[in-house]
Structure formats: structure tokens, C-alpha cells
């Protein structure tokens, strides 16, 4: 076969694969309905493990190694679980809608833009995008009814917590209704033909600069220009048309602005992932079949052992903590508000009792939201 014929055959095969993947996704959604009717949890890791073992066995005579099959089906299984969760949550809360208005940081191409696409593609036919210049503007868009949801980055594996977002959560009336994690791959991007040795200015969001600090320290005589978002940085490069000015952001986003990758993998940590939360005006109910997280804030006071006593309440009720974050209380020097993420459904008896007890021993407590957990840990297969 000639090269063009081989490529044509590959394209035909890819088309068939896409059709089969779409069919499998529809079957997975049908499974969600069946599980809900039988009151079974969405995730069945024993079934997943049996499936992977069977697929690995079937793949061997076809020349497909175990690692290849496992990696491929981890992605497919994760998609199935998230699709099922989104469908059940939409039915339970009446949030299925042909179109949603979503506020996020920056414009097309920003990391928040891609996170928004990733989350809401499973939940709506059309996303009406509302790019904003600040976190405060994002929250206000939802509070005033100009947007239905907001997508906010809250922490990153390289730069840690995003304090401004935590502070906004303390005072907003909005509820956390969802979460997602999104891999962040920072690249140095510039105009086509840019010479790395002649760079004089780097444009990026402050969080991006913090995540790439080690790389930036190696650039001598280069000015750092802070931007509102990655898309803002891309826009500046495109408008200025100056080959000595570059941006840091995602490759896919940079391509929307005609920029080319100069250097990849700039983050301080190899596995650079951001966690985003989704907030709305009304809280949601999480189906029992879906693993849930609950986020609340509390002020324990400054008496010795107050925080320990509060955490012991969670332990006594068998509630696992996912995160504990402290933030200063504005106007109260040296006093802190604690933000707590736990693996629990707000409707669970244990969680209800724990909150009742915490309410008695803390000076202030407020639930920020209960929402589906999207921590989909890959099912491992024992080597045999």
C-alpha cells in the first residue's frame, strides 16, 4: 500500500472508533438509569477491575500490551463515571438545560475557559461564555443573576491555594455545586519566528508566574508583566506584534491567538494540576449513588485545643477530611477562619450530627456547599 492509502485506511479506522466510543458512552448513560432504579452506587470498582482483566487478556493475542489497554480504558471509565454522575445530578436537581451562562476568568484560551468547557460540555448543549477580569467580577456576575454559574480556580499543586477565592467564599451567598481538576501545562509562547535569545518581557497571570518561578529565575534581564489572565497575555502579544515580548500559558489557548510554542514544561512541578470549583445561587442535592464532598467554614475561637476538638468531632463520626485551610479574619487580628473539605454527603446522618455538634462548640459555622466529588481514582489491576 502507498502512504496515502495507509493514511486513508487509518482515517477510516479512526472514524469507526469514534462511532464506537459514542455508542459506548450512550450505553454508559443507560447503565446510570439502571443503577439509579436499583439503588446501586455509580462506581463499581470490582466490576471495573474484572473488565480491565478481561480486556487485557483479550488484547494480548491482538498485540496490545497490558499498559496500553489499561491507560486507554482508564480514560474511558473516567468519562463514563463523570457522564453518569452529571446525568443523575441533572435529573435530581432539575438543572438540565439546553444553555447555561457561565462566568470565568479571562477570555477564550484561558485555563478557566478550558475548565469551563470541560465541566459544562457534559451538562448543557450550549455554553454562553462570560469572561471576566477578576474573581470578584466573576462572583458578582452570578450573585446579580447575569450568569448561572461561575468557575473559580481554588488551588494548584505548584503554587498552593488561591487565597483571594477563599476570601470571597467567606462572604458570598453562592453555594459550591461542583468541582473538577484540570492539568495545567505551561508553555512559553510568542509570535512565529520569535528568537528566545532576544526576549525582553514575559506576560502572564500572577498564579502562572508563581507556578513557573524556577524557570523565570533563569531568564536574565527579562521584565515580568502581570496580566489579568492567560488570555489577556495572549491578546497583548498578538496586538503588540513585538517579537521580544512573550506569554506563558497553554499551548491550545495560544494557538487561538496565532502564537507558537517556544518552550514547554515550565511549571515548578512536573504534575501541575489546578482544582476548580463551580458555584451557583442555589445549592444542589447530591444523589446517594454518587460520592460527595461537603465544604464548610468555621471559627473556633482562640482557646487552647479548640481546633483539635472540632476535628475530633469529624473523627468520631467517621468523616474523612480532604483539606483544611486557614485564612485571616478581616478586622480580627491574629484570628483565623478554617475552611474544611470532607468526603461526606450533607444528607448523611453522620454529617448532620457532626455539624450539629460543631455548631455547639464553635463560634461560627457555615456550609458552603455539598457537591459530587470528581476525584476518579483509576482502578488498579494486580499483575498476574
Cβ atoms within 10 Å, residue 345: 23
382 pLDDT above the threshold of 90: no
Q: Residue 244: what pLDDT?
A: 95
SS3 content of the chain, % helix, strand, coil (to 5): 40, 25, 30
Q: Residue 117: what pLDDT?
A: 96
pLDDT in tens, 301-321: 888 899 999 999 999 999 999
Contact assessment for residue 44 and residue 81, using Cβ atoms and an 8 Å cutoff: no
> Which grid coordinates belong to 13?
479506522
pLDDT in tens, 239-285: 999 999 999 999 999 999 999 999 999 999 888 999 999 999 999 99
Please list the alpha-helical segments (H only) found in 104-205.
Answer: 111-120, 135-143, 163-171
> Which grid coordinates belong to 118?
470541560
Q: Residue 375: what pLDDT?
A: 85
Q: Residue 1: what pLDDT?
A: 81
Q: What is the DSSP letter of 48?
A: H
> Which grid coordinates belong to 188?
512559553
3-state secondary structure 143-162: HCCCCCEEEEEEEECCCEEC
Q: Give the mean pLDDT of 51-74.
A: 96
Contact assessment for residue 143 and residue 281, using Cβ atoms and an 8 Å cutoff: yes
Polymer length in residues for the chain: 384
Q: What is the DSSP letter of 123?
A: T
Distance CA 368, CA 365 (A): 10
384 pLDDT above the threshold of 60: no
Q: Residue 233: what pLDDT?
A: 96
> Which grid coordinates belong to 63?
498485540
Q: Which residue has the cell 511549571?
A: 267
Contact assessment for residue 231 and residue 107, using Cβ atoms and an 8 Å cutoff: yes
Q: Residue 309: what pLDDT?
A: 95
2 pLDDT above the threshold of 80: yes
Q: Residue 383: what pLDDT?
A: 56
pLDDT in tens, 208-249: 999 999 999 988 889 999 999 999 999 999 999 999 999 999
Cβ-proximal residues to 113 (8 Å cutoff; 6+ apart), any chain: 104, 106, 107, 129, 131, 231, 253
Q: How far apart are the first and last CA of the chain?
A: 39
Q: Residue 36: what pLDDT?
A: 84
Average per-residue pLDDT for the chain:
93
10 Å CB burial of residue 65 (0-12, 13-18, 19+) is exposed
Percent of the chain's residues with pLDDT above 70? 99
Cβ-proximal residues to 311 (8 Å cutoff; 6+ apart), any chain: 321, 324
Q: Residue 339: what pLDDT?
A: 96
Q: Residue 6: what pLDDT?
A: 96
159 pLDDT above the threshold of 90: no
Contact assessment for residue 268 and residue 212, using Cβ atoms and an 8 Å cutoff: yes
pLDDT-wise least confident of 44-48, 304-308, 333-337, 344-348: 333-337
Q: What angle is formed at CA 271 by the lines to CA 45 and CA 80, rounded to 5 degrees?
A: 30
Distance CA 204, CA 226 (A): 5
Q: Which helix (H) or strand (E) holds 131?
A: strand 124-132
Contact assessment for residue 294 and residue 345, using Cβ atoms and an 8 Å cutoff: yes
10 Å CB burial of residue 249 (0-12, 13-18, 19+) is buried
Q: Could you tell me the pTM of the whole model? A: 0.90
pLDDT in tens, 166-202: 999 989 999 999 999 999 999 999 999 999 989 999 9
pLDDT in tens, 13-50: 999 999 999 999 999 999 998 988 888 899 999 999 99
Strands (E), 214-363: 223-226, 245-249, 260-263, 273-280, 292-299, 320-329, 332-343
Q: Give the mean pLDDT of 108-123.
A: 94
Percent of the chain's residues with pLDDT above 90? 84
Amino acid at each position: 500500500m502507498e502512504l496515502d492509502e495507509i493514511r486513508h485506511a487509518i482515517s477510516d479506522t479512526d472514524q469507526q472508533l469514534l462511532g464506537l466510543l459514542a455508542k459506548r458512552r450512550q450505553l454508559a448513560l443507560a447503565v446510570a438509569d439502571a443503577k439509579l432504579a436499583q439503588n446501586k452506587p455509580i462506581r463499581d470498582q470490582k466490576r471495573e477491575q474484572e473488565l480491565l482483566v478481561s480486556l487485557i487478556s483479550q488484547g494480548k493475542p491482538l498485540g496490545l500490551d497490558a499498559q496500553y489497554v489499561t491507560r486507554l480504558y482508564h480514560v474511558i471509565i473516567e468519562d463514563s463515571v463523570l457522564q453518569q454522575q452529571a446525568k443523575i445530578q441533572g435529573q435530581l436537581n432539575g438543572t438540565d438545560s439546553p444553555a447555561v451562562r457561565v462566568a470565568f476568568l479571562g477570555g477564550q484560551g484561558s485555563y478557566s475557559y478550558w475548565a469551563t468547557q470541560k465541566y459544562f460540555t457534559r451538562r448543557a448543549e450550549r455554553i454562553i461564555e462570560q469572561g471576566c477580569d477578576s474573581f470578584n467580577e466573576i462572583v458578582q456576575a452570578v450573585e446579580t443573576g447575569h450568569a448561572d454559574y461561575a468557575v473559580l480556580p481554588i488551588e494548584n499543586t505548584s503554587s498552593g491555594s488561591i487565597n483571594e477565592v477563599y476570601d470571597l467564599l467567606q462572604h458570598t451567598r453562592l453555594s459550591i455545586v461542583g468541582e473538577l481538576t484540570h492539568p495545567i501545562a505551561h508553555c512559553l509562547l510568542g509570535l512565529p519566528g520569535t528568537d528566545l535569545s532576544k526576549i525582553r518581557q514575559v506576560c502572564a497571570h500572577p498564579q502562572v508566574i508563581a507556578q513557573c518561578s524556577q524557570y523565570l529565575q533563569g531568564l536574565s534581564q527579562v521584565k515580568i508583566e502581570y496580566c489579568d489572565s492567560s488570555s489577556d497575555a495572549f491578546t497583548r502579544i498578538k496586538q503588540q506584534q513585538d517579537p521580544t515580548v512573550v506569554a506563558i500559558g497553554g499551548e491550545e489557548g495560544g494557538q487561538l491567538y496565532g502564537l507558537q510554542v517556544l518552550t514547554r514544561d515550565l511549571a515548578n512541578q512536573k504534575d501541575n494540576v489546578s482544582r476548580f470549583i463551580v458555584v451557583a445561587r442555589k445549592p444542589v442535592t447530591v444523589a446517594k449513588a454518587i460520592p460527595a464532598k461537603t465544604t464548610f467554614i468555621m471559627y473556633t475561637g482562640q482557646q487552647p485545643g479548640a481546633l483539635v476538638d472540632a476535628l475530633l468531632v469529624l473523627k468520631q463520626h467517621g468523616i474523612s477530611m480532604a483539606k483544611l485551610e486557614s485564612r485571616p479574619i478581616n478586622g480580627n487580628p491574629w484570628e483565623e477562619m478554617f475552611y474544611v473539605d470532607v468526603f461526606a454527603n450533607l444528607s448523611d446522618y453522620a454529617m448532620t450530627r457532626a455539624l450539629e455538634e460543631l455548631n455547639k462548640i464553635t463560634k461560627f459555622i457555615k456550609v458552603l456547599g455539598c457537591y459530587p466529588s470528581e476525584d476518579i481514582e483509576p482502578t488498579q489491576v494486580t499483575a498476574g
